[in-house]
Amino acid sequence: MVFFTLYCRVYQSIFKLVSPLLPWREPELIEGQGSLLELPAHLASRGITRVLIVTDKGLVALNLMNPLLTELSKRHIVSVVYDETVPNPTIGNIETALALYHSNQCQAIIAFGGGSPIDCAKGVGARVARPKKSLASMKGVLKVLHRLPLLVAIPTTAGTGSEATLAAVISNPETHEKYPINDHSLIPHLAVLDPELTLKLPKQITATTGMDALTHAVEAYIGRSNTKETERDAIDATRIIMQDLEAVYIDGNDIVRRNNMLKAAYLAGKAFTRAYVGYVHAIAHTLGGFYGIPHGLANSIILPHMLAYFGNSAEKRLADLARKSSSVPTNLNDTDAAQTFIGMIRTMNKNMAIPEHISGIKPEDIPVMVERAFTEANPLYPVPRILGRKELAEVFSIIAR
């Protein structure tokens, strides 16, 4: 394990050195209450006349897209809607949406929804850019390397931060595998942050997506690949979430806090797309692949267990984040500050009816899930402490109690 840990750290160090040379970019932001209706003008200015909208049936039923569809029509922009996206979008979702894109001669892709529609839309874009490559062959890092058609992300949850990231997470229901595709070309070109779209979110989705964003900020900050910018974004996101999430869970019509949470999710997305995530995500992805557990819910439950398991290895950075985000008193020592912060996360989960453990994990599935989490996280994720298969199995046992 000593030599493997050394290999991981060397790999991560090289990535950190090379990172500033990579083609990073940020999406152009259209933000604020009512900003959704500004998008068609932006599309028209780019000469876009035909678009594929990737969403899901639940959002269609809420009629949230209707104002956008009307405004697109006024601009003489033809829209084709794919609404079959499922939680943890599948290869089949992407291939079906891709066929719609081509058969309707679309020029741009609009993702409308939470992380699943955005990931699905990114997958479609990757297949448009690399028509001869399968999604499985693009698994991992920098396997797309081609420009996507114009990609617009319109988040309707404040959680995944997918509108800012280079990652798309894909599921293969045949193998129960869930894996990320990471490439700078997957960063959306435009992102619309309109808090009106989040007003109808159910309380439980508000809670779990908000804790998902907190997970992004925390894992990015305690990792070893931070920049000054990622640290700032993670601190700002953490501060907003700790201040506003429980309040907006109680009062979902608070438009100011809804707007704040959208910005926090975006900032956390920016932070982790440069600084990466960690074992919380690797484990959550495997649970999503095996049992269909929503990603935000899995992250919410795993996060405090994982932070506690890291112990001393994450203590200093976690305490630093807690102090700088004003989450704990600045006069606490590192141990007390870190423990207080973990306790605050547990309390937030409890107050928002998020369970402490994940039920239904089958012991016979754990070895395969451990292997997949181990493979996803190592050597790429610059976590505070490199865990082996034995340690990951212990974490699975802890969260399954």
Report the DSSP beta bridge partners of residue 112.
154
- Taking 80 as the threshold, does the pLDDT of residue 133 lie above it? yes
Q: Note whether 59 and 82 are within 8 A (CB).
A: no
Provide the CATH topology of domain 23-198: Rossmann fold (3.40.50)
Which whole-number Å values give the CA distances from 195 to 83, 165, 239, 262, in the listed order?
Answer: 22, 20, 19, 7
How confident is the model over 77-91, as pLDDT tens digits?
999 999 999 988 999
Q: Note whether 77 and 108 are within 8 A (CB).
A: no
Percent of all residues in the chain with a pLDDT value above 70, rounded to a whole number: 100
Burial profile 334-348: b = 16 or more Cβ within 10 angstroms, e = fewer: beebbbbbbeebbeb
pLDDT value of position 66:
96
Cα–Cα nearest to 184, from 266, 108, 273, 114? 273
pTM for the model = 0.94
Domain boundaries, the chain: 23-198, 201-399
- Taking 90 as the threshold, does the pLDDT of residue 327 lie above it? no
Contact residues for 400 (Cβ-Cβ < 8 A; gap 6+): 357, 358, 359, 361, 366
Q: What is the mean pLDDT of residues 339-356?
A: 97
Q: Note whether 348 and 218 are within 8 A (CB).
A: no
Cα–Cα nearest to 377, from 282, 308, 302, 244? 282
- Taking 90 as the threshold, does the pLDDT of residue 176 lie above it? no
Least confident window among 106-115, 251-260, 319-328, 380-389: 319-328
pLDDT tier, 182 (very low <50, low <70, confident <90, very high otherwise): very high
The CATH homologous superfamily to which domain 201-399 belongs is Dehydroquinate synthase-like - alpha domain (1.20.1090.10)
The alpha carbons of the chain give a radius of gyration, in whole angstroms, of 20
Which H or E run contains 240? helix 228-250
- Measured between alpha carbons, how far is 286 from 288 in angstroms, rounded to an integer? 5
